[in-house]
Amino acid sequence: MKRDSAHMSARRSAVAAAATDYRVALNQAMQSHQAGDLDTAERLYRDVLERRAGQPDAMHYLGVLCHQQGRSDEGVRLIEAALKITPKHPDAHNNLGNIHKECGRLRDAERSYRKALECGPQHYNAQNNLAVVLEAQERLEEAFEAYAKLLQQAPKFAQGYYLMGMFLRNHAQSREHVEQSVECFRTAYQLNPRNVRALESLGMSLYALHRLEEAAQVYRDWLAREPEHPVPRHMLAACGAAEAPSRAADDYVREVFDAFAESFDEQLLKNLNYRAPQVLAEALGGVLPGVVGALDILDAGCGTGLCAPWLRPYAKQLVGVDLSGGMVDKARARGGYDGLEVAELTAYLQAHPDTYDVVFSADTLVYFGELRDVLDASHAALRPGGWVAFTVEAAEGEDDSVVLSPSGRYQHTRGYVERVLASTGFSHISIRTDTLRKEGGQPVMGWVVLAQRTH
């Protein structure tokens, strides 16, 4: 009996040691994951699953990681397997919803978020995400109720006030809604002074209300606190209180889009009328009949990679370049590119002469006032017969001019675009107007431009 007892005690000790070992490995995996070392994290998660098959936390977090690395279907399978073991895990349901949302499967995302809220009624991230996908489906009354419930549940959640402010302004049906957005943005910034998008949006809402001096004062006060911050410097010019630069400074673009990278697709999902990639790709397809998988294409200002699915069918080689490293990381996770680089666009084009058959730029040149340098570089980067395709926001008037709008983006007249294209050597110029997105509930009109390097 004593021998059996000693044997059982030794076995229990071995089991306890094995359990401790896998928990240590799981904790190390999670730390590596949070630090952004995805390769190490994946190896450790898989090590946990070898030691303890079906361990639900390892499957859940490995699923999140697979999605981050562009293997979204594998990520879904892993999280669904984890949920069969722990079906009442609200975080897992929420993360499964996030994958569906970022893959455009809004109904599946909605179901996952609702399940998360069944399991954890106070899960305010799931409530936030549910509001976003309801808005993306244009179920606006339900979305408003979901945002309102979020603020009731989490009255100190800065992002909730920011998103409610964006909702009110984007779908404003009266001046009162824009005024309410002002209060939401003020609260969002008070709760999280690092949220520069809340201050930027506050200024834009004040401008929309024609409270021009108040808008300028927001940026002056911000600049006084942070004299080197590029965002208030640019936005002060955008609202007409300082001289407009010839193009948005690199540090402004990098600051805005690095900060925006995590929520960029979410914000675009909320606006189903964001159409620039689609309308530009369709226009390009009209001059590339029968071309399948044969072209070297540059996605110039690739952002999070939204254009890749539209360009991939034409591409032998698809390369993306963007000034924002955060955006490029998201594009890398989305997949679809043969190469991705973080670089300033004009310099990149100048460094790659006679390299591409297409230079494609959806809603990137809106941050360039003067277009000559970037279009001259585009002409040089194209091979003879190659096409440049881009969108810019349309300025009114028949003259040859550029204006910096209160949004922080530039608008160009048709005459200006035609003149610069001709002066940089392009021919077969096609310019038509289309709606690129909505802003403040109103359509934003733009030029959809194609031009060819013929020699």
The pLDDT value recorded for residue 15 is 42
The pLDDT value recorded for residue 363 is 94
Domains with residue ranges and CATH for the chain: 14-144 (1.25.40.10), 159-243 (1.25.40.10), 266-452 (3.40.50.150)
The pLDDT value recorded for residue 16 is 44
The pLDDT value recorded for residue 214 is 93
Residue 159 structure tokens: 């992002």
Q: How far is residue 259's CA from residue 231's CA, in Å, rounded to a whole number? A: 11
Q: How far is residue 433's CA from residue 275's CA, in Å, rounded to a whole number? A: 12
The pLDDT value recorded for residue 18 is 47
Sign for the pseudo-dihedral over CA of 176, 166, 93, 142: positive
Q: How far is residue 184's CA from residue 178's CA, in Å, rounded to a whole number? A: 10
The pLDDT value recorded for residue 264 is 65
Strands 442-452 and 427-439 come out as antiparallel
Sign for the pseudo-dihedral over CA of 141, 147, 153, 156: negative
Q: Which residues contact 390 (CB under 8 A, 6 or more apart)?
A: 280, 300, 359, 360, 361, 362, 364, 365, 449
Q: How far is residue 433's CA from residue 236's CA, in Å, rounded to a whole number? A: 29
Cβ count within 10 A of residue 344? 15
The pLDDT value recorded for residue 170 is 87
Is 83:92 a contact under the CB 8 Å cutoff?
yes
Percent of the residues in the chain that have a pLDDT greater than 90, as a whole number: 74
The pLDDT value recorded for residue 1 is 47
| CA dist list (Å): 95 to 32, 62, 127, 247 | 18, 11, 13, 39
- What is residue 261's DSSP assignment? G
Spell out, as residue ranges, where the chain has pLDDT lower than 50. Answer: 1, 6, 10, 12-18
- Among left, alpha and beta (phi > 0; psi -120 to 50; other), residue 384 is beta
Residue 30 structure tokens: 């999670």
Q: How far is residue 318's CA from residue 295's CA, in Å, rounded to a whole number? A: 8
Residue 384 structure tokens: 């003879």
